[in-house]
Each structure stands twice: as structure tokens, then as C-alpha cells.
Amino acid sequence: MKILILFLGVVWSATILFGQIIPISQNPKYTTSINPKYNTSINPKYNTNINPKYNYQINPKYAPDINPKYNTDVNPKYNTNVNPKYNTSINPKYSTNLNPKYGSWTGKYVFNQDEEVIGILVQANFDIYLYYQTSGEWIGYFVRAESNYNLFTLEGEWTGQYLSTDSENGFNLFTEDGNWSTNYAK
């Protein structure tokens, strides 16, 4: 009987994470105001203020303050405060609140253009979002640089990708050359 209860508890926990029970307020399938397909003000194709191709202030290629190649404060290779490898307060190995497998976390879901969940962002602190696959595997982290968040591998290498604010409580994911990947976080 104890094994059955334990098994059902594990299945229920996994269902929460892997079954994608997403609050309606964070789900673009049900809330069109957070869906770039229907809300042009959060879609970089229609709003040049949130598009790094047109707004160089949010493009790390042209703004050295937000580029980890030039600003060591936002580069985990040089700043251990933003590196989970050296800062245990932002490392999910040391805190279950930072691991979506354990249920209690704050952050955002990452969606593709078809409104499917492709990742989870767990907010470790004001400057760091830990990035997980929907399976719960930790795959990287985002470090804040002004209003952007640069994506780093677990080894601390900048991928060139970054989140830029959509101006309405979410982010759009861009490649290093400023192209919108059509992925976004809510």
C-alpha cells in the first residue's frame, strides 16, 4: 500500500511538471493578450521598439553594456555572483525551490510559435533565470543585462541568444544576430 501511495505521488508530481498544467494567465492558448500572434504590441515583427534589429539599445551586438563579451559584470566567467557553479544560492542542486521537478517555483514558461511549452524559466533571483527543458533537465541559465537576459550554457559559455522584454511582463527570445526565434516566455 505504501508503495502504491508513493507511486501515485510521484506520478502526480510528474504530471504537474510534464503534463503542462499551466495557469490560464500564463497560457497563450487561452489568453490572447499574451500571445504574439494576436497581440502585435508584444510581437517584434510589428513593434520595432522591442525588436533588436531596429532598436540597438536592446541588441548586444551594438550595446556593449549588455554584451557579456564586453561587460564582465554580466559574464559568469568573470563574475561568480551570476554563476550557479560558484554561487550555491542560485544552483538548483542546493535548493529544491529552484528545481521545477519539485513543484514550488516562480518563473515563466517558454513557448514556441504554436503555443507549445518548450521550456521552463525558474527565477533564481532578480538577475538569474535557470532554464530547463520540459522534462525538468537543467540546460542553461539567463543572466540579466539591463532589460535583457543573456543565455549561457551550464559551463558558462554565452550562446549568443538572449531574452528581450516584450514590454508587457514577458520576453521574446532572439539569436545573436537579432533575429526573433519566434519563441517567447510568459
Range of the domain at 56: 23-185
Supply the pLDDT for residue 20: 55
- Count other C-beta atoms under 10 Å from residue 149's C-beta: 26
pTM, 2 dp: 0.86
Supply the pLDDT for residue 3: 52
Q: Tell me, yes or no, whether 4 lies in a domain.
A: no
Q: Give residue 27's identity as a one-letter amino acid code.
A: N
Distance, in Å, from the CA atom of 74 to the CA atom of 53, rounded to the nearest integer, reads: 22
Phi and psi at residue 148, to the nearest 5° = -95, 165
Cross-strand pairs, 138: 132
Q: Tell me, yes or no, whether 9 lies in a domain.
A: no
pLDDT < 70: residue spans in the chain? 1-20
pLDDT tens string 140-150: 999 999 999 99
Residue 133 contacts by C-beta under 8 Å, 6 or more apart in sequence? 118, 119, 120, 139
Q: Tell me, yes or no, whether 18 lies in a domain.
A: no
Q: Tell me, yes or no, whether 7 lies in a domain.
A: no
Tally of domains within the chain? 1
Q: Which residues of 96-113 are buried (b: 16+ CB within 10 A; e: fewer)?
A: eebbbbeeebebbbbbee
Q: Tell me, yes or no, whether 1 lies in a domain.
A: no
152 three-state secondary structure = strand
Supply the pLDDT for residue 1: 47
Alpha-carbon separation of residue 61 from 109, 172, 174 (angstroms)? 26, 17, 12
Distance, in Å, from the CA atom of 38 to the CA atom of 42, rounded to the nearest integer, reads: 9
